[in-house]
Amino acid sequence: MGLQGQSFIGYRRGSTSGKVLKAFDPTHGTILEPAFYSTSKSEAEEAINLAARSFAAYASLDRHKRAGFLRSIADNLMSLGEQLVERAVSESGLTAMRIRNERERTCSQLRFFADMIEEGSWVDARIDRGDPERKPAPKPDIRSLQRPLGPIAVYCASNFPLAFSVAGGDTASALAAGNPVIVLAHYSHPGTAEYAATAIRDAAMSAGLPDGVFSLLYDAGIDIAHVLVNHPDVKGAGFTGSRAGGTALMKAAAARPEPIPFYAEMSSVNPVFILPGILQSQADTIAKNLHASATLGMGQFCTQPGIVITLDGSESFVLKFTELMLQTAAGVLLNRNISSAYQRAMSERPQRANITLKTATLDEPASSAETCSVRASVLETDAASWLADPVLHEEVFGPSTLLVHASGREDLLRIAREMKGNLTATILGTEEELADYADLAKILEQKVGRVLFNSYPTGVEVCEAMVHGGPFPATSDGRSTSVGGRAILRFTRPVCFQNFPDSALPAELQQANPLKIWRMEDRRYIQG
Amino acid sequence: MGLQGQSFIGYRRGSTSGKVLKAFDPTHGTILEPAFYSTSKSEAEEAINLAARSFAAYASLDRHKRAGFLRSIADNLMSLGEQLVERAVSESGLTAMRIRNERERTCSQLRFFADMIEEGSWVDARIDRGDPERKPAPKPDIRSLQRPLGPIAVYCASNFPLAFSVAGGDTASALAAGNPVIVLAHYSHPGTAEYAATAIRDAAMSAGLPDGVFSLLYDAGIDIAHVLVNHPDVKGAGFTGSRAGGTALMKAAAARPEPIPFYAEMSSVNPVFILPGILQSQADTIAKNLHASATLGMGQFCTQPGIVITLDGSESFVLKFTELMLQTAAGVLLNRNISSAYQRAMSERPQRANITLKTATLDEPASSAETCSVRASVLETDAASWLADPVLHEEVFGPSTLLVHASGREDLLRIAREMKGNLTATILGTEEELADYADLAKILEQKVGRVLFNSYPTGVEVCEAMVHGGPFPATSDGRSTSVGGRAILRFTRPVCFQNFPDSALPAELQQANPLKIWRMEDRRYIQG
């Protein structure tokens, strides 16, 4: 399939008159054909209008049909075969194996939500039966369930061209809930976006869905991002990207005449606390595992362990970890903005008080100034210096880890308390140490969406229990997760029916429970 | 018990140096003693600091102890006896019977949440068991549940001195979830607030809870409202009140360095659509029931039916309804701000294009200029005029209903489509008409939190299925409800534990399910 470069305005393709955007191959430092054309404001509005018009029909689509739609997106993605993989590799600098794994994850995520909506209990159906005889006032019959919000805008991530992009988790969960979706492609991987968009469009057409359930927009600038977040018919949004971009859009969402939920996943340093006991026997293993986690995908995971806190007795771990980071081959970051920001941080941070660059990033510049190649790095400081310098609390996106040495338990707890909101926090220790540091675990629980024990934060399992979220600035809304079963609830709200005749109720709430879902009936959980 | 007029800064009482606030009796037009003293900024900060320090201990308090605490608040409210009722009547102008009903509702709401947290399944525990043998990567053990957010600010409502105030739904649900609460009293009923605060404080002391789980602040101005919403240790807020106040505070919450969830319930016109078929036999009954709903508590319910849409054939209903509204005795509104706003609307709205005041509000001024007495009113217009005039889409707080005559089905559907977000919408009709107007029900479902059929919107049942919320501007966050089981989820977020040893997990997530709650285990609902 040849790439055409035009937006998808529902089922039609957009114009070729907009400003041109071309992808960049960060591995070879070359511009990639073809040209992609920025969506005009009026085309974006047309896409939103189509989405709004398709909403009612799509929201009440039979659950099996909606599940089938999600599964056929996954099938279509697989059918795109190696052309999709090759394009994503060229546009991201990620390896083909990584892209194949990400495609697998993207497809299994679509199937995960398909299974969930087909089973159906996710709607949280609640029934409180009426009682006309109750005194002093009759008790009404009250039934409620989660319903979709309306058209949802999805902003693609640079670092997951598939799993957090056009057909990624935001789109999958928003579509699963019954919302039309308008996606804004990331400038880094417009070709991958076009492939994924064809997979969704073809699945929608085959399922006979109304025009407008899905659109894909391109933009060489930032205008369309704001058109989406400000349009009155857009009722929610999902975003994965930088803190600057995310906070600008979340402020816009809050400042609208009618504010809307804006779910941004932004920045996280994912602190790892290593307790001394476990280092006695496992310093090398921990160094190896932590190195693997810190450099996975060249450190471009939102759960990359960016800060490691150690206590006395960590010398051999530090040596081994630093050695492994030093030995790591130079690798390519996603795009020039990201590689420049990384290089800038690696030249600026060692200038700060009491901070040492333990690796040779600066001495070994990338092999070509044209590519986005960088080396892994280790920085080191002490607790007091970290506590005193807010810059060191911020994420460096890429394969860099800051070691913070705490001189004792109080120091370590103070660091935990001063941490901002994060996606994850990890404790490595013996089980006895975990019990001994129960206060540390309690502090971390208040700071993050996921606390790990003797495990590594990269690799986010797609499952019902996953929480991939966390207090600001990790995300814009710490009550949400962008991965796992609860992700669907970001794009729904509860709606209640009072004294409705059975036949006029949604099937999920009808007396006979025709869908056989789990419901809460008169305060008890019952499966029909 | 004599009223003292000082804030509750945790377990100690605040100073008497702040600006003085006195309650006003709207029935007699008199000032009520004693003086209440505005909390200083430093006292408010002390209350927040105490709340933050008490959080960890309170959040992990045994569920039976927390339930017992809520129940003893209810018991203490009842023990206050008639002095509480009398004070609330004086401060609100509401009848003693209404206040007793509201006290009953407040207490049963506290007990409702006590039962819920004692049963325990509300935490939405989810477990996905690990599989170390899974290929290509081992599957981690992932377990998650809802945990409290931290100190919550509660802003009291004018119109429910008990049920949406100091010990009302926001406080009950926030405390039930494990959050400390700092309440800002409403200037209309500071004495009622003091009584309710003693009930909570005494219950907290008896339960041996840490100092700071509860505070009550007073303010003659609006400074403390902003201190609360802007303090970094305040992690969420609940508000019931005006659109102006609610939107100002929600913008402040969104503009913080760390934004927080702000749940404001603000304004709603609660449209009632009357279909012609049912009027053939029930015009009088509907007129009577609608009149009762529109004038309940002098129309000062957030679910008061403020707009009624009729089709041809509604003449006898309109006559009867207008007659009943005309015959309604003058009554007292909550305070002077509210009665002035009502009087202003009743003099301004009849000046607008094609709108008629069908009742004699203007000709019969309140018996005393000093009191807040007003009369019920009926305004009438046609669909085109309503559609053309945004002022008529806005709530008039008080016993006023606007009749909008639609000339046919399309007119009626257009009105439904142009409605802003509301708490409720009601359809009165035969079952055949409801089926015939399925498109109307679908439109309304997108506009409100609760859709009613042949029922009246006032009287919000406290039950698991209730949704007392709705899209903006009815509330700041249409994904939430301030009444019913789901209200507790406003003040929680999910937290996930990866590969934790069983003994280090919260009891809700331990393998043996010691609390015997319903959980989702490997995608199936199971009770331990």
Convert the pLDDT of each residue in A310-368 to its tens digit: 999 999 999 999 999 999 999 999 999 999 999 999 999 999 999 999 996 555 554 45
Compute how many other C-beta atoms are within 10 angstroms of the C-beta atom of residue B191: 24
Nearest to B254 among A254, A486, A496 (CB): A254
Which residue is associated with the tokens 């100690």? B12
- Is residue B185 within 8 A of residue B193, CB to CB? The reply is yes
Q: Which residues contact A120 (CB under 8 A, 6 or more apart)?
A: A63, A508, A515, A516, A517
Nearest to B465 among A493, A496, A504 (CB): A496
Which residue is associated with the tokens 């979709």? A148
Closest residue in B to A473 (Cα) is B258
Query: Which 3 state secondary structure label does DSSP give B504?
Result: helix
Closest residue in B to A454 (Cα) is B499
Nearest to A479 among B121, B471, B493 (CB): B493
Q: How far apart are CA A521 and CA B160, in angstroms?
A: 29
Q: How many residues does chain A have?
A: 528
Q: What is the pLDDT of residues B412-438, one digit of tens each?
A: 999 999 999 999 999 999 999 999 999
Closest residue in A to B492 (Cα) is A479
How close B373 comes to chain A (CA, Å)?
28
Q: Give just the sign of the alpha carbon dihedral A82, A84, A89, A91.
A: positive
Look at residue B364 in the predicted model and tell me its pLDDT. 54
How close B463 comes to chain A (CA, Å)?
7
Helix axes A243-255, B243-255, angle to 10 degrees: 180
| Strand pairing class (A424-428; A450-453) | parallel
- Is residue A455 within 8 A of residue A447, CB to CB? The reply is no
Nearest to A258 among B438, B452, B472 (CB): B472
CB contact under 8 A, B441 and A527: no
Over pLDDT 70: what percentage of chain A? 98
Q: DSSP states of B318-339 as a string?
A: HHHHHHHHHHSPPEE-SSHHHH
- Is residue A147 within 8 A of residue A59, CB to CB? The reply is yes
- Is residue B58 within 8 A of residue B366, CB to CB? The reply is no
Which residue is associated with the tokens 């930088």? A242
- Is residue B147 within 8 A of residue B59, CB to CB? The reply is yes
- CA angle at B460 for the pair B458 and B464, rounded to the nearest 5°: 160
Chain A residues closer than 8 Å to B448 by CB = 495
The first and second tokens of residue B355, run together, are 């709108």
Domains of chain A, each with CATH number or no CATH: 8-266+478-490 (3.40.605.10), 272-453 (3.40.309.10)
Chain B residues closer than 8 Å to A500 by CB = 434, 451, 453
Amino acid (one-letter) located at A247:
T
Read off the DSSP letter of residue B390. G
- Out of A302, A372, A380, A508, which one is annotated catalytic? A302
- CA angle at A279 for the pair A276 and A281, rounded to the nearest 5°: 135
CB contact under 8 A, A495 and B449: yes
Nearest to B143 among A465, A469, A476 (CB): A465
Q: Which residues contact B264 (CB under 8 A, 6 or more apart)?
A: B238, B239, B240, B241, B246, B247, B249, B250, B475, B476, B477
Q: Which residues contact A459 (CB under 8 A, 6 or more apart)?
A: A296, A303, B137, B140
Dihedral of CA atoms A133, A138, A139, A143 in degrees, nearest 10, equals 110
Alpha helices in B62-189, H assignment, sequence order: 63-79, 81-92, 96-119, 169-177
Helix axes A81-92, A63-79, angle to 10 degrees: 70
Active-site amino acid positions of B? 265, 302
Dihedral of CA atoms B249, B252, B253, B255 in degrees, nearest 10, equals 160
How close B298 comes to chain A (CA, Å)?
19
With 60 as the cut, is the pLDDT of residue B475 above it? Answer: yes
- Is residue B102 within 8 A of residue B497, CB to CB? The reply is no
Look at residue B361 in the predicted model and tell me its pLDDT. 52
Read off the DSSP letter of residue A390. G
Q: How far apart are CA B492 and CA B147, in angstroms?
A: 5
Q: How many residues does chain B have?
A: 528
Look at residue B20 in the predicted model and tell me its pLDDT. 98
Closest residue in B to A501 (Cα) is B431
Q: pTM to 2 decimals?
A: 0.97
- Out of A265, A380, A395, A508, which one is annotated catalytic? A265
CB contact under 8 A, A128 and B472: no
Q: How far apart are CA B316 and CA B322, in angstroms?
A: 10
With 50 as the cut, is the pLDDT of residue B173 above it? Answer: yes
Q: Which residues contact B103 (CB under 8 A, 6 or more apart)?
A: B77, B78, B84, B85, B162
Which residue is associated with the tokens 């305005």? A9
Closest residue in A to B261 (Cα) is A477
Q: How far apart are CA A376 and CA B190, in angstroms?
A: 61
Query: Which 3 state secondary structure label does DSSP give A236?
Result: strand
How deeply is A351 buried, as exposed, middle or buried, from its count of CB atoms within 10 A (0-12, 13-18, 19+)? exposed
Which residues does residue B9 pair with via DSSP β-bridges, in sequence order? B12
Q: How far apart are CA A235 and CA A262, in angstroms?
A: 9
The first and second tokens of residue A39, run together, are 């969506």
Q: How far apart are CA A309 and CA A311, in angstroms?
A: 7
Number of Cβ pairs closer than 8 Å across A and B? 216
Chain A residues closer than 8 Å to B476 by CB = 259
- End-to-end alpha carbon distance in chain A: 47
Compute how many other C-beta atoms are within 10 angstroms of the C-beta atom of residue A69: 24
Nearest to A499 among B251, B455, B497 (CB): B455
Look at residue B434 in the predicted model and tell me its pLDDT. 98
Q: How far apart are CA A283 and CA A261, in angstroms?
A: 44
Look at residue A364 in the predicted model and tell me its pLDDT. 54
- Is residue A428 within 8 A of residue B500, CB to CB? The reply is no
Chain A residues closer than 8 Å to B258 by CB = 420-421, 471-473
How close A109 comes to chain B (CA, Å)?
14
Closest residue in B to A522 (Cα) is B464
Q: How far apart are CA B382 and CA B414, in angstroms?
A: 12
What's the mean per-residue pLDDT of chain B? 96
Chain B residues closer than 8 Å to A119 by CB = 523
Which residue is associated with the tokens 């013996």? A430
* Rounded CA Rg of chain B: 25
How close A464 comes to chain B (CA, Å)?
7
Q: Give just the sign of the alpha carbon dihedral B6, B12, B18, B19.
A: negative
Chain B residues closer than 8 Å to A471 by CB = 258, 493
Task: Please name the helix (run of DSSP H) or strand (run of DSSP E) that holds residue B192, with its range, or none.
Answer: helix B190-206
Chain B residues closer than 8 Å to A494 by CB = 449, 467, 469, 479, 481, 486
Look at residue A136 in the predicted model and tell me its pLDDT. 84
Q: What is the pLDDT of residues A153-168, one digit of tens each?
A: 999 999 999 999 999 9
Look at residue B1 in the predicted model and tell me its pLDDT. 78
CB contact under 8 A, A147 and B445: yes
CB contact under 8 A, A464 and B523: yes
Over pLDDT 90: what percentage of chain B? 96
CB contact under 8 A, B525 and A495: no
Q: How far apart are CA A287 and CA A317, in angstroms?
A: 6
Query: Which 3 state secondary structure label does DSSP give A460?
Result: coil
Look at residue B371 in the predicted model and tell me its pLDDT. 79
Chain B residues closer than 8 Å to A434 by CB = 500-501, 504
- Is residue B322 within 8 A of residue B359, CB to CB? The reply is yes
**Where residue B365 falls among pLDDT bands split at 50, 70, 90?**
low
Q: What is the pLDDT of residues B200-258, one digit of tens each?
A: 999 999 999 999 999 999 999 999 999 999 999 999 999 999 999 999 999 999 999 99
Compute how many other C-beta atoms are within 10 angstroms of the C-beta atom of residue B356: 12
Q: How far apart are CA B495 and CA B518, in angstroms?
A: 17
With 50 as the cut, is the pLDDT of residue B366 above it? Answer: no
Task: Please name the helix (run of DSSP H) or strand (run of DSSP E) that holds residue B239, with its range, or none.
Answer: strand B236-240
Read off the DSSP letter of residue B242. -
Dihedral of CA atoms A101, A103, A105, A109 in degrees, nearest 10, equals -170
With 50 as the cut, is the pLDDT of residue B97 above it? Answer: yes
Q: Which residues contact A437 (CB under 8 A, 6 or more apart)?
A: A273, A275, A409, A427, A429
Residue B455, CA distances (Å) to B98, B174, B276, B374, B438 in order: 21, 30, 16, 27, 17
Q: How far apart are CA B257 and CA B232, in angstroms?
A: 8
The first and second tokens of residue B519, run together, are 């959980």
Q: How far apart are CA B53 and CA B465, in angstroms?
A: 34
Closest residue in B to A57 (Cα) is B442
**Residue A463 annotated in active site:** no
Look at residue B157 in the predicted model and tell me its pLDDT. 97
Look at residue A371 in the predicted model and tell me its pLDDT. 79
Alpha helices in A134-275, H assignment, sequence order: 169-177, 190-206, 223-230, 243-255
Closest residue in A to B131 (Cα) is A461
How close B23 comes to chain A (CA, Å)?
32
What region, left, alpha or beta, does residue A124 occupy, with left being phi > 0 and alpha being psi -120 to 50 degrees? left
**Residue A302 annotated in active site:** yes
Residue ranges of chain A with pLDDT lower than 70?
360-369, 528
| Strand pairing class (A30-37; A400-405) | unpaired
Which residue is associated with the tokens 């399922």? A207
Q: How far apart are CA A237 and CA B15, in angstroms?
A: 46
With 80 as the cut, is the pLDDT of residue B43 above it? Answer: yes
User: In chain B, what is the greatest distance between 2 CA atoms, to the nearest angstrom?
Assistant: 83
How close B192 comes to chain A (CA, Å)?
25
CB contact under 8 A, A467 and B495: yes
Query: Which 3 state secondary structure label does DSSP give A525?
Result: strand
Query: Which 3 state secondary structure label does DSSP give A395?
Result: coil
CB contact under 8 A, B525 and A504: no
Backbone angles phi, psi at B153, to 5 degrees: -95, 135
The residue of A451, A458, A463 whose CB has the most chain B CBs within 10 angstroms, and thus the best one to mutate to test that interface, is A463
Nearest to A504 among B255, B434, B500 (CB): B434
Look at residue A1 in the predicted model and tell me its pLDDT. 78
How close A367 comes to chain B (CA, Å)?
33
